[in-house]
A and B are shown apart, each in its own frame.
Chain A
């Protein structure tokens, strides 16, 4: 059974930093691209970015709204995905979901339960 468990959310002041983690199990983590998606309170889904697998040199892509501030990384030896968030803004307040991309990488087939990040003074 595929499981994705996020952690690391919490309250942070504007301009601060936070690192989210996602522990994956139930599939061959190293084979798959992984994404982060967020959802602001009462709002829709917004893609944050993705990291490809080793075969694609762990390259990353980001949404324009977070590019230059957020960094996605992974540790295949620990079956873990990370999201380093710097220079946080109040508009980054959201539930952050860790996602497994499908084999063709054109969609997301599993979601974690999410972790809430609140940016407020």
Chain B
């Protein structure tokens, strides 16, 4: 059971907009920044969003993040076949102290 709650799956057709949620509590998302990671099949995770809504250089602006109170969300607009991957949210938890992850959302491009 993950501390952060994500839906197990999401899907869309090419070009569509897909969103996924990440629910936490006051001690993690409510107090700290949210990070999002993309894990393509058979590879290590890669940073997708930091500081709730900032994209590292090289990440397409089709990816966007937001946060409100104790929840966060990731949106992928203009869905492409190469976006098929697992997406994880993460945050630092102040109590008990430690880094926490969501269980991951598997995105399928139909």
Q: Which A positions have Cβ atoms within 8 angstroms of B?
A: 35, 37, 44-47, 50, 61, 63-64, 97, 102, 104, 106-114
Contact = CB atoms under 8 A, between A and B. Distances in A.
Main secondary structure, interface of B, reads strand
Contact of A47 (B46, B51, B100, B103): B100
Contacts, number: 59
A108 B47 contact: yes
Interface of B: 2, 32-33, 35, 37, 44-47, 50-51, 56, 88, 90-92, 96-104
21 contacts: A35-B99, A44-B88, A44-B103, A44-B104, A45-B88, A47-B100, A61-B97, A63-B98, A104-B33, A107-B35, A107-B47, A107-B50, A108-B37, A108-B47, A108-B90, A108-B99, A109-B56, A111-B37, A111-B44, A112-B44, A113-B44
A106 B29 CA distance: 11
